[in-house]
Amino acid sequence: MTEKITKLINDVPWIRWTALILIALMMFFGYMFVDVMSPIQSLIEGQRGWTPSVFGTYASAEYILNVCGFLILAGIILDKSGIRFTGTLSASLMLIGACIKFVGISEWFQTTEFNTWLNSWWITMPGSAKMASLGFMIFGCGCEMAGITVSKAIAKWFEGKEMALAMGLEMAIARIGVFSVFSISPWIAKELGSVVAPVAFCTVLLLIGLIFFLVFCVMDKKLDKQLGENLHLDPEDQFKVSDVGKILSSSTFWVVALLCVLYYSAIFPFQRYGANMLQCNLEGIDPQDASNIFRWFPIGAAIITPFLGSFLDNKGKGATMLIFGALLLIICHLVFAFVLPITHSHLIAYTTIVILGISFALVPAALWPSVPKIMDARYLGSAYSLIFWVQNIGLCFVPMLIGKVLESSNATNPAVIAARESGATFIPYNYTVPLIIFASFGVIAFLIALYLKKMDKDKNLGLELPNIKK
């Protein structure tokens, strides 16, 4: 039998942190592309004729194929084919989808016969939105596949080490991507006078992200060679498709998955509308000013997430963090719904955005490092993918729901009617009802988090225990 190597490359701190940075930057660029059009919603409405309902349908497109089963397949591919193959495939899909979306909203595409044909059916959805949605669907497959791949990669490289801190830093870097795009996208669009330029810029960044992941693959191949994973696996320790049934039959899995879908349904769809909500609730500000306020949302998460990860690694208390994160979520959405429209206070807007960012740090920082504690390593990729799949069901339908509710609740709004009749480029929507919906998701997530803590106590799941093994 081959003698086990006593020191692996992931035992060397600078090597494992370099590996983390490479995969985190891929997600950084992916997160930038996800929200590249969120801060310029009013511009896309003016330049391409997208209504809130159309924008909501486009935002939902990111998750449609994942909900239809691609994410389940992605988890199986990950556990069967490994991190390197799956990550390269996911980064490539993100790039392909981005290119299609770029073509769809380009000035050139609007003059093509294909666009004319697209405009001839389902006329409430412009051809540019149909093409952008197709690209976003393909991108979404790659982005969500990348998410589960990165989670499994971190669990592999940081097993028994600073796993929560590593996951926290990866999420923090990704959140800074959202901050960056909310800063850069409206500025580029304003300077160049087009919604196309920010999309083109972020598409190039996705290509760079693919290159970074290929560099990581070289490192990961060396780690696998040291581990000898492909040479000495017992057949009983290998992933089987039947393991999917074991995951789905776990009550703990469903509690975690439901908490995940409810919490994230109040976060990511809100990001699509957040800048426009601030523009509507804070009188006299343009898209750039609204984006400058909203961009601090991910910064709150980015700053605190590494500290939370370090705390989880050394002290634990993951289930407790989930409870407090959901509670902060509820408070923030209620402030946006009832306090901000009355006060029009920029200070309240900034403060609430940062607190929401802290909530966004508490829940993911505690949630994702907890999954390896409740799921077997051989089907960890599938466990992550199934949680992401349940999450994507909410992320697919909630933006459409919010878009339709926003339109219907403002159907008789005098300010909205007057703005449309005058041909104004900015429509002052009332966001109260959508924000109440977001807060309701938070209430249910809070109750589930309480139940999860009880399960942890009854079943000794270890969610409150530290990650670092001493």
Residue 281 maps to which CATH number?
1.20.1250.20
Reading the chain (470 residues) residue by residue, the pLDDT tens digits are: 444 446 788 888 889 999 999 999 999 999 999 888 888 877 887 777 788 888 888 888 888 888 888 888 888 888 888 899 999 999 999 999 999 999 998 888 888 888 888 878 777 788 888 999 999 999 999 998 998 899 889 988 887 787 778 887 887 788 788 778 888 888 898 888 888 899 999 999 999 999 999 999 999 999 888 877 544 444 444 556 667 777 888 888 899 899 989 999 999 889 878 888 998 898 778 877 887 888 788 777 777 877 877 787 788 788 888 899 999 999 999 999 999 999 999 999 999 998 998 888 788 777 777 787 777 767 777 788 888 888 888 888 888 899 889 989 999 999 999 988 887 778 889 999 999 999 999 999 999 999 999 988 888 888 888 766 65
Q: Does the CA dihedral 325-281-402-182 come out positive or negative? A: negative
* pLDDT score, position 221: 92
Q: Is residue 6 part of a domain?
A: no
Distances in whole angstroms, Cα of residue 373 to Cα of each of 3, 9, 159, 442: 29, 24, 11, 25
* Rounded Cα distance, 187 and 191, in Å: 6
Both tokens of 402, joined, read: 């919010």
Both tokens of 390, joined, read: 């349940």
Check if the beta carbon of residue 350 is closer than 8 Å to that of residue 293.
yes
pTM over 0.75: no
SS3 content of the chain, % helix, strand, coil (to 5): 80, 0, 20
* pLDDT score, position 318: 82
Check if the beta carbon of residue 62 is closer than 8 Å to that of residue 93.
no
Dmax over CA atoms of the chain, in Å, equals 80
Q: Is residue 90 part of a domain?
A: yes
Look-up of token digits 């989808």: 97
The range of the structural domain enclosing residue 64 comes to 18-228+239-459
Q: Is residue 379 part of a domain?
A: yes
Q: Among 12, 160, 165, 30, which residue's Cα sits nearest to residue 87?
A: 30
CB-facing half-sphere around the CA of 59: CA atoms within 13 A: 31
Q: Is residue 360 part of a domain?
A: yes
Q: Is residue 365 part of a domain?
A: yes
* pLDDT score, position 136: 93
Q: Is residue 33 part of a domain?
A: yes
Check if the beta carbon of residue 442 is closer than 8 Å to that of residue 330.
yes
Query: Which amino acid would we find at residue 286?
Result: D
Check if the beta carbon of residue 56 is closer than 8 Å to that of residue 404.
yes
Query: H or E segment at 29?
Result: helix 13-34
* Rounded Cα distance, 102 and 105, in Å: 6
Contacts of 217 (CB under 8 A, 6+ apart): 84, 87, 88
Q: Is residue 234 part of a domain?
A: no
> How many folded domains does the chain comprise?
1
Q: Is residue 11 part of a domain?
A: no
